[in-house]
């Protein structure tokens, strides 16, 4: 019922695969697009391109059917509208479970965005995917409750997605004997006391804070995943994804890269929260997708950090955005959000060694690809494609 509320400018609706910088074509088809969400859509492109059969399950609350349009009519592609908080019966071989609201704007009250939750249609969430002979892909987010929710109920919906949704997907994987991949997050490290973060670090997470529905939810999802692995001998994989950016991100979902890029393009000041000295490590989406596929196809459970070790303060990020889009873009400082992690940078030695994976796209190379996409979506198809 909420489908008609999404504004094509806000989410998805981007290009059609030309953005997969660094992506390899392995099998007989081109990478397409995919799974209505941000990461999910790029993943589906690759999976279809590799010859898999893909079933996307998505409720379209944050993703867009349009992101999948290039696969319509392909006999190896199927799309089901479904909320994964509800049980689901399907026969598949692999499940990529990406479900959960991924931007803080989706799961907590942001005092800087007082119009929340009425602009939640701008968000993204996550997707879950299932593979059969290839792939069954499931997109997934906090669902309808967002549309009428208060911040508190949005957080509960987010947590439900992480916990009940993951449980359902694990139950499905167990019933059909599918391999299950959880897209966890660097947020499981909380405000880390170790730097860079290694997979053996247990984290520093506030269990009762505004971010807890996300980071504790993901920690529970990891626990459930390992419990099913141990108790039901389920084949599982866990990826801890660090901040990822690229084409098809929701334009106004509140994440820092999408905010800065949209602000610079619209000639608005870049909003730096706090003193801007907090750090993040930004990974281009095609690198992540390669890592997810290598993890799924490999022999190791994980968890594996999947991220780009290049570390930037938010002020440095703002500077790269200025250099890329508009050197005259102004910076405006705003109050930071609660429990904001001070620094974050992945140690990817384990992924390098066991998966043979490492990112190849630097921020300065990846950002222009995203800018082209945002420019098109904000200003229209004929808005010029330069960066
Ligand atoms: P996304 O928000 O772009 O994808 C959301 C997709 O899930 C949309 O298609 C949406 O319609 C669909 N969906 C939402 N609720 C649903 C529901 N209840 N049932 C069915 N479908 C639903 O998310 P993303 O940024 O692509 O993140 C994907 C995964 O990666 C998430 O699990 C996220 O936690 C994880 N992750 C992402 C990042 C990042 O920087 N993007 C970082 C760490 C972890
Ligand atoms: N489940 C599902 N699809 C399936 C199998 C299970 O959605 O094909 C759900 C099921 O509804 C349950 C959850 O997955 O809520 C866990 O299933 P499991 O069989 O592990 O637990 P049980 O149902 O025995 O409690
Ligand atoms: N941030 C910022 N300006 C914005 C949005 C976010 O300075 O417009 C900061 C935010 O406070 C955090 C960092 O950027 O320190 C990353 O925020 P994001 O929501 O993108 O990701 P996460 O906090 O989940 O890593």
Using a 10 angstrom Cβ sphere, with 0-12 exposed, 13-18 middle and 19 or more buried, the burial of residue 136 is buried
The mean pLDDT of 39-48, rounded to a whole number, is 94
Buried/exposed 47-78: b ≥16 CB within 10 Å, e otherwise: bbbbebbbbbbbbbbbbbbbbbebbeeeebbb
Whether 256 is in the pocket of ligand 3, judged by its Cβ within 6 Å, is yes
Instruction: State the pLDDT at residue 318.
Output: 98
Residue 7 has pLDDT above 60, yes or no: no
Cα separation, 127 vs 89, whole angstroms: 17
Cα separation, 337 vs 325, whole angstroms: 26
| ipTM of model over 0.85 | yes
The mean pLDDT of 257-286, rounded to a whole number, is 97
Q: Is residue 44 a contact partner of residue 76, using CB atoms and an 8 Å limit? A: no
Residue 371 has pLDDT above 90, yes or no: yes
The mean pLDDT of 229-255, rounded to a whole number, is 94
More confident of the two residues 284 and 20 = 284
- Of the listed ranges 83-87, 124-128, 193-197, 273-277, the least confidently predicted one is 124-128
What confidence category does residue 99 fall into, taking pLDDT thresholds of 50, 70 and 90? confident
pLDDT, tens digit, for every residue of 59-69? 777 777 888 88
Hey, which of 277, 280, 346 would you mutate to test ligand 3's pocket, going by the most ligand atoms within 8 Å of its Cβ? 280
More confident of the two residues 118 and 174 = 174
Whether 318 is in the pocket of ligand 2, judged by its Cβ within 6 Å, is no
What confidence category does residue 105 fall into, taking pLDDT thresholds of 50, 70 and 90? low
The mean pLDDT of 80-84, rounded to a whole number, is 88
- C-alpha angle 62/243/161, rounded to 5°? 40
Residue 233 has pLDDT above 70, yes or no: yes
Catalytic status, residue 96:
no
Please state the atom number of ligand 2 nearest to the C-alpha of residue 228: 20
Please state the atom number of ligand 2 nearest to the C-alpha of residue 168: 14
* DSSP for residue 351: I
Please state the atom number of ligand 2 nearest to the C-alpha of residue 90: 8
More confident of the two residues 358 and 19 = 358
* DSSP for residue 74: -
The rounded Å distance from CA 141 to ligand 1 centre is 6
What confidence category does residue 96 fall into, taking pLDDT thresholds of 50, 70 and 90? very high
What confidence category does residue 231 fall into, taking pLDDT thresholds of 50, 70 and 90? very high
Q: Is residue 24 a contact partner of residue 46, using CB atoms and an 8 Å limit? A: no
Cα separation, 88 vs 138, whole angstroms: 11
Q: Is residue 304 a contact partner of residue 239, using CB atoms and an 8 Å limit? A: yes
Looking at the chain, the number of H-run helices and the number of E-run strands are 11, 15
Using a 10 angstrom Cβ sphere, with 0-12 exposed, 13-18 middle and 19 or more buried, the burial of residue 333 is middle
Cα separation, 272 vs 68, whole angstroms: 34
> Over pLDDT 90: what percentage of the chain?
62
- Of the listed ranges 158-162, 163-167, 379-383, the least confidently predicted one is 379-383
Residue 136 has pLDDT above 80, yes or no: no
Return the SS3 of 281.
strand
- pTM for the model: 0.86
Ligand closest to the CA atom of residue 85: 1
With CA atoms as reference, report the closest residue to 99 among 156, 149, 39, 53: 39
- Of the listed ranges 56-70, 108-122, 137-151, 324-338, the least confidently predicted one is 108-122
Q: Is residue 60 a contact partner of residue 54, using CB atoms and an 8 Å limit? A: no
With CA atoms as reference, report the closest residue to 238 among 170, 284, 176: 170
With CA atoms as reference, report the closest residue to 181 among 80, 362, 314, 39: 39
Cα separation, 277 vs 255, whole angstroms: 16
Question: Which residue, judged by its Cα, is nearest atom 21 of ligand 1?
Answer: 140
Catalytic: which of 96, 107, 116, 214?
A: 214
The mean pLDDT of 77-93, rounded to a whole number, is 92
């Amino acid at each position: 019922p909420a489908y008609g509320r999404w504004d094509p400018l806000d989410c998805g609706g981007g290009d059609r695969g030309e953005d997969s910088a660094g992506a390899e074509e392995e099998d007989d088809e081109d990478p397409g697009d995919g799974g209505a969400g941000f990461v999910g859509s790029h993943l589906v492109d690759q999976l279809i391109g590799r010859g898999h059969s893909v079933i996307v399950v998505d409720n379209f609350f944050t993703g867009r059917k349009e992101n999948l349009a290039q696969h319509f009519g392909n006999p190896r592609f199927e799309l089901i509208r479904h909320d994964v908080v509800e049980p689901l019966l399907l026969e598949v071989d692999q499940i990529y479970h990406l479900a959960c609201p991924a931007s803080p704007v989706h799961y907590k009250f942001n005092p800087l965005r007082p119009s929340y939750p009425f602009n939640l249609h701008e968000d993204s969430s996550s997707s879950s995917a299932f593979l059969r002979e290839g792939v069954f892909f499931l997109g997934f987010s906090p669902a309808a409750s967002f549309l009428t929710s208060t911040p508190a109920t949005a957080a509960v919906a987010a947590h439900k997605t992480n916990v009940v949704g993951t449980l359902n997907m694990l139950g499905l994987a167990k019933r059909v004997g599918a391999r299950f991949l959880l897209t966890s997050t660097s947020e499981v490290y909380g405000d880390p006391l170790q730097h860079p973060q290694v997979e053996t670090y247990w984290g520093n997470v506030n269990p009762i804070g505004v971010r807890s529905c996300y980071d504790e939810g993901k920690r529970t999802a990891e626990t459930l995943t390992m419990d099913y692995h141990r108790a039901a001998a389920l084949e599982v994989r866990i990826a801890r994804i660090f901040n990822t950016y690229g084409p098809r991100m929701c334009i106004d979902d509140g994440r820092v890269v999408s905010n800065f890029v949209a602000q610079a393009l619209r000639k608005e000041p870049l909003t730096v929260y706090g003193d801007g000295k907090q750090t993040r490590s930004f990974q281009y989406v095609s690198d992540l997708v390669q890592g997810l596929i290598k993890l799924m196809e490999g022999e190791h459970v994980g968890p594996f950090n999947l991220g780009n070790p290049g570390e930037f303060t938010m002020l440095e990020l703002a500077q790269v955005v200025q250099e890329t889009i508009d050197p005259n873009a102004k910076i405006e400082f705003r109050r930071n959000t609660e429990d904001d992690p001070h620094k974050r940078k992945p140690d990817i030695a384990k992924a390098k060694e066991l998966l043979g994976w490492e990112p190849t796209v630097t921020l300065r190379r990846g950002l222009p690809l995203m800018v082209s996409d945002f420019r098109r979506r904000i200003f229209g198809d004929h808005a010029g494609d330069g960066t």
